[in-house]
Amino acid sequence: MSRSGAVTFKGAPMTLAGEAVAAGSPAPDFTCHYFEGGMKSLGLADVKGKPTILSVVPSLDTGVCATQTKTFNDKLSAMADKVNAVTISLDLPFAMNRFCGAESIKNLRVASDYQDRSFGNAFGTLIEELKILCRAVFVLDADGKVTYVEYVPEVTSEPDYAAAMSALESAAS
């Protein structure tokens, strides 16, 4: 299944692979990868147990994606031990680690969907024309139920940080 015109990229309509994830539904399973002393996998089972924010970006090498990651990192400082926070992109795990080191990102983990686009297809964020992820934010409760969804309509725009953080705070209380 594909969703034609689901988002725009610099004004051009783009097609997202997969179905849109809706608030109230169980989060789909996925497999992403990160590097921490070796290559490791991250999936839905790894984030259950705590409320989770999944911040999805096309690439940390772009200004808006860097801003989104740094903004969530700052906003999560008071909640870091009570929640899981993950930025997901198709950047390689090594590049993601370099970005986090250079930008002092400490309150969220980065995970890459580069191997098989598992997350992008499961959460409906893979842009078919560009083969990158769209900008989106998902909040899951401790049981893995989706409580908040934002597919940012224009990929080059920032998400609604206040709404996402409010949803995460509600899930954590």
Catalytically annotated residues: 65
Question: What's the order of all strands across the beta sheet hosting 132-133?
Answer: 2-9, 12-17, 126-127, 132-133
What is the C-alpha separation between 64 and 130, in angstroms, rounded? 17
Residue 66's CB is within 10 A of a number of other CB atoms, namely 17
Burial class (CB in 10 A: 0-12, 13-18, 19+), 11: exposed
Burial class (CB in 10 A: 0-12, 13-18, 19+), 137: buried
